[in-house]
Chains A and B, each alone.
Chain A
């Protein structure tokens, strides 16, 4: 007899977003259980280094900052692909979220009044930090921002915020069931009831039934060959949502490549390196970024810097190495003191993994897959489209404040903000529901998974001969080669065909080991089809989007096209199909009409309809598609919209 566990709210993932959502849901009076692949403090949130954005404006280069500016920087960073209302909620909530984490124990780096030395645009400058702000949260510079607003703890921000968050979870007595993997959602008639879960200690299956199920499982970078992501970032949460056949994934083609993954090993060194004055150099040790981006230089948005680096390497200016071409990150001028305090993790990573001392030597870097803007499409409350009771927050979600490109420091901030905001919404919603314990439904879902496992263990249907690692490697090679920083229609079409073949072959997996317990090969075999599906969503979305916007750059369609492509891609996977079905929705209500980002330099095809007409279409489609109701009406958080609506009424 398998175990059945009931709770009000089931959270899948114990990183920052999942734990913060659990805390909010618990504050609303719900019993909460969190599942995690690993002990919670090992979640990938812990590896975030540089910081989180919030418009506190405490330091001299942050003076005059506001939620308004943070919102506008975010919209520009997204290349007008984001939901501007969600970006408003995010920018408005971020300062409170940072202060709350300060209250609960994060040792944020603080403002020290008086003269301070910085490196800005390649030059050493001395600025006077305001004495009246002594002891408030300090900020550092980041890419694509108009003010310094990144709150940080040296270069261990994710670590300190995650440890503080998990301390709060322990204090509240919220249960975390670690080494547990949700392998399918239990749902019926458009309502999610929980998940079938496999214990990674014993291999046993259990069912968890809940009023609300929250996916907060992070990104899916590991579908790429080279990724900065932790090895657990295989998209298991997005996969089980896609498997329902109901829930769409949004903008899966929007994949972020971070400019500074180290070569080899692909470990990230933070954008804070450039925020603090680090420079990018080529094979001649020449600083090339100001030639491409005179204004923002090394601190344009990540999509732009990664493209410029790639362009420069294509001109023959890369540094050849046995591990492939790369460029240099120069931190030497920042000095030993800075590198051994504020960039200490970076120093350790360079020393341990490269044998390079960044105080004296250049660090080999190249753009590397880093972040998934796409994910489970949710409304502004975090409630998934088309499946009541399913919610998602953090990188696993497409909430969508990032659009087609995320700004550095906005994802770590998003985890806490979305956890707070959506956690409260789902907590309130759960309170309005009754817990339905349908054991027959749970058994059916569990048996389906047990049969899947049995088939894998016993060697499948006769002809089984495919190897898990082999298929994953082949798929990763295709994505890396054909769905990278610069994309072409022909290659994308080849990628879709190739990935579809691999997906079909994955039906004939043959395991090499036969034990049913905590067998890592079995865990990999269970995850593989989901990873291949995500890869196909990325490739097909990229093939069909015939424009360049943010992180999606088409050599055959180099312009951003606001006339035809001010849209979000939605990918659904009909049960039994071999590839996803793609549809589109408007990006959301426009408060800031599409314009020039101030970096990146691409040409645009202008919108032809008026902003008013576009916004009317948004409202119309929202009603026609029947997306989940939101706690407040559409557009309520948009400042100009509220004024607009009030003038219409009066």
Chain B
């Protein structure tokens, strides 16, 4: 017997003064291998043509469909209903501006993040179209790619206690991005350059260590390691500065 599912969906249109935030139940029969991409489109096609939600690739790689599924932020497209109870509660991710229903404005947030961490290779070198590419060890390339795999879905921000109480917190995604550039030999920024941004309460020391980000990251990025690495590296800069202030030797970190 196929189950009858109840999709309990948050509905609210912030642009419409008559709209009040509420949950609305939509029922449907479960079909084999049903995922929430298909289920939500069925709701839109049959029951609520004006329901707002975001999907693009529907293959788990573009990061559009982050939402709260039974209280946990994750990608809707690759969530199978078979893994969930009969009642599935869907809500928009917190910490991002609501556009309507399940749709939130991750685009503006992530552009702001990229600007804030200056998410590009900082180098004095000009590109020379006639020259061979700068060589890189394949192991280094793989380490960079490991962190570069972030898809900006926003789940780590939605699942972060600090990000939900202080708007200026960089969040795991930004710290991961910084880690990516720290690993990259093409980027000429050093620890001192990063210190003012990272070694603060908006940065790595604002994290209270609950590591919700690591629990929910759909790409299984090594966020525990990123935070540990970042704390240690920033502490070393601070230690070096303290020594320098005390008139002793130069900082040991480059």
List A residues at the B interface (Cβ < 8 Å): 38-44, 46-47, 96, 98-100, 102-105, 107-112, 134-138, 153-154, 156, 159-160, 163, 166-168, 170-171, 176, 178-179, 201-202, 230-232, 264-265, 267-268, 322, 341, 345, 348-349, 352-353, 355, 469, 511-513, 515, 517-521
Contacts and interface: CB of A to CB of B under 8 A. Distances in A.
Contacts of A345: 61
A112 B152 contact: no
B52 A179 contact: no
Mostly helix, strand, loop or mixed at chain B's interface?
loop
A370 B44 CA distance: 25
B216 interface: no
Interface string B101-122: 0010111101100110011110
B62 A230 contact: yes
B136 A110 contact: yes
B52 A518 contact: yes
B30 interface: no
A166 B151 CA distance: 13
A109 B44 contact: no
B61 A46 contact: yes
B196 interface: no
B56 interface: yes
Q: Which residue, B32, B111, B125, B152, has most C-beta atoms of chain A within 10 A?
A: B111
B221 to A, nearest CB: 13
A100 B64 contact: no
A341 B149 CA distance: 12
A111 B138 contact: yes
24 contacts: A38-B64, A40-B107, A41-B63, A42-B56, A100-B127, A105-B186, A107-B184, A135-B138, A136-B132, A156-B145, A170-B114, A178-B107, A178-B108, A179-B107, A230-B56, A230-B58, A348-B60, A349-B60, A353-B59, A515-B16, A515-B50, A517-B13, A518-B103, A520-B49
Given A39-B111, A352-B78, A353-B35, 13 more contacts: A100-B129, A107-B142, A107-B145, A110-B136, A110-B137, A156-B145, A160-B148, A166-B114, A230-B57, A322-B32, A518-B15, A520-B49, A521-B49
Interface of B: 13, 15-16, 32-33, 35, 44-45, 48-52, 54-64, 78, 99-100, 103, 105-108, 110-111, 114-115, 118-121, 125, 127, 129, 131-138, 141-142, 144-145, 148-149, 151-152, 184, 186-187
A566 B100 CA distance: 51
A264 B13 CA distance: 34
Contacts of A40: 107
Given A38-B56, A39-B106, A135-B138, A46 B133 contact: no
Contacts of A135: 135-138
Contacts of A517: 13, 15-16, 100
A176 to B, nearest CB: 7
A401 B142 CA distance: 32
A135 B35 CA distance: 42
Contacts of B149: 156, 159
A39 B107 contact: yes
A231 B55 contact: yes
B147 to A, nearest CB: 9
B193 to A, nearest CB: 16
